[in-house]
Amino acid sequence: MTARAASRQRLWRLLLIVPQLVLLAGCSKEAPPPAAARPVLTRLVGESASDSLRTYSGEVRSRYETALAFRIPGKIAARLVDTGAVVKAGQALARLDPADTALSATAAAAQLQLARADLQRYRDLRSKSFVSQAALDSKETAFTAALANAELARNQSTYTVLRANQAGVVGLISAEVGQVVAAGQTVLRLARADTLEVAISIPEARMPEAQALDHAEVRLWADDEAIYRARLRELSPVADPVTRTYAARVAMIDADARVLLGMTAKVRFLSPQRDARLSVPLTAVFQQDGQPALWVVQADQSVALRPVAVDSYGEDTALLNGGVQAGERIVVAGVHKLTAGERVSVVEQAAPVAAPASTSKPQTPAAPTER
């Protein structure tokens, strides 16, 4: 065999071996790993009266807040309480300088003593017919006037001490020691601690429904876990000229020691309607062909798009009339990145305590379009 023939034979053998090596190399590669599930933020749909609730922010106040003042003018000699002090009925709060009232009481007592002596003397003279009945009547009148002046002076002496007319908390002090105050000028403000309520303002757009509301719940911003029963006690019929809102007072029925005057609170009204609807975040609403829908997580951890009927839209939530049921899990973030049947990894989101609802008519919000 010639050298050229041997070389050609080796070339053909090499050409037969190369495909086999390539095939063996391809078979030795591992299968690619399955695609990782997409993590999504989800939450359970729960029945909520959010459609029947209206939430307002307000301040804890007392129903009875009394501005206390001295009944006579004078110079404040002592202030016995500070702001926030808890006082009892009849407790002394402040005192005026008693020098002037003491002098007035002494002068009135002297005038009364003189009038009493004159009256007794004229009675003796009248019994002996030495004076007329008219002269005796004049002394009787003078004695009565002196007695009234003496009693008035004694009363004014007691007015130098400012006392609490009821048990409560000192909420404001507007006068200090050494200050000269006029009669009736507010010295401090006293609030009863057993008649707590929340002062709120209701927009004029919600007034028609507010007049039908009664029962409510109160939550403190300082302690959101505490819930207090309340009721609408007072609703102003006239709007504030500046804010154009209507002042309202919501009385707290079962307030405890955690509720303090001046705290910020959230009032949530309960509508008389009994049909509870479903509330979902606006971020969960997906638009499919102009219709609202939700991504529902199936039992196999895949997502399916479910059309829903929206009753109304609020600032952060949407109220549903149907489409999903309570207890189903929905995707609440990144809804525009999902596709039907895609497997997901569930990340739980805590449901909000309350979702304020709007009274506006249903309207379609700007939502992401379908991929």
For residue 222, is it within any domain? yes
Question: Which of these three, 219, 252, 270, is where a domain ends?
Answer: 270
For residue 177, is it within any domain? yes
For residue 55 the two structure tokens come to 């939430």
- The arithmetic mean of pLDDT across residues 310-330, rounded, is 81
Residue 30: the pLDDT is 55
200 and 187 within one domain: no
For residue 6, is it within any domain? no
Residue 51: the pLDDT is 43
Structural element, H or E, at residue 44: strand 38-44
- The arithmetic mean of pLDDT across residues 108-125, rounded, is 94
For residue 369, is it within any domain? no
259 and 197 within one domain: yes
CATH number for the domain that contains residue 113:
1.10.287.470
For residue 360, is it within any domain? no
251 and 144 within one domain: no
307 and 262 within one domain: no
CATH number for the domain that contains residue 328:
2.40.420.20
For residue 204, is it within any domain? yes
AA identity, residue 318: A
For residue 2, is it within any domain? no
Domain that residue 86 falls in: 69-97+160-191
Q: Could you tell me which residue, 1 or 288, shows the higher pLDDT? A: 288
- The arithmetic mean of pLDDT across residues 89-108, rounded, is 93
181 and 118 within one domain: no
Residue 314: the pLDDT is 73
CATH number for the domain that contains residue 202:
2.40.30.170
Residue 19: the pLDDT is 61
For residue 215 the two structure tokens come to 């029962």
Residue 318: the pLDDT is 82
- For residue range 15-34, list pLDDT tens digits in order: 666 566 555 555 545 545 55
Q: Could you tell me which residue, 257 or 1, shows the higher pLDDT? A: 257
DSSP string, 268-337: EEEPS----EEEEEGGG-EEETTEEEEEEE-TTSBEEEEE-EEEEE-SSEEEEEESS-TT-EEE-S-GGG
311 and 205 within one domain: no
Q: Could you tell me which residue, 357 or 235, shows the higher pLDDT? A: 235
- For residue range 123-147, list pLDDT tens digits in order: 999 998 899 999 999 999 999 999 9
**Tally of CB atoms within 10 A around 53:** 20
> Is pLDDT above 60 for 161?
yes
Question: Which of these three, 203, 235, 270, is where a domain ends?
Answer: 270
Mean pLDDT of the chain: 82
Lowest mean pLDDT across 2-6, 77-81, 358-362: 358-362
Residue 50: the pLDDT is 45
93 and 140 within one domain: no
314 and 257 within one domain: no
CATH number for the domain that contains residue 175:
2.40.50.100
333 and 309 within one domain: yes
What pTM, to 2 d.p., does this model score? 0.55
308 and 239 within one domain: no
Residue 351: the pLDDT is 47
Q: Could you tell me which residue, 322 or 63, shows the higher pLDDT? A: 63
Per-residue confidence band for 115, with pLDDT thresholds at 50, 70 and 90: very high
230 and 118 within one domain: no
Residue 274: the pLDDT is 44
For residue 1, is it within any domain? no
Angle between helix 99-127 and helix 133-158 axes, rounded to 10 deg: 160
How many domains does the chain divide into?
4
- For residue range 165-211, list pLDDT tens digits in order: 999 999 889 999 999 999 999 999 999 988 999 999 999 888 887 77
Residues 6+ apart with CB under 8 A from 112: 143, 146, 147, 149, 150
Strand order from edge to edge, sheet including 86-87: 65-69, 186-191, 168-173, 86-87
> Is pLDDT above 80 for 268?
yes
The separation between CA 24 and the C-alpha centre of its own chain, rounded to angstroms, equals 74
Question: Which of these three, 223, 248, 270, is where a domain ends?
Answer: 270
Lowest mean pLDDT across 4-13, 60-69, 146-155, 233-242: 4-13
> Is pLDDT above 50 for 275?
no
83 and 186 within one domain: yes
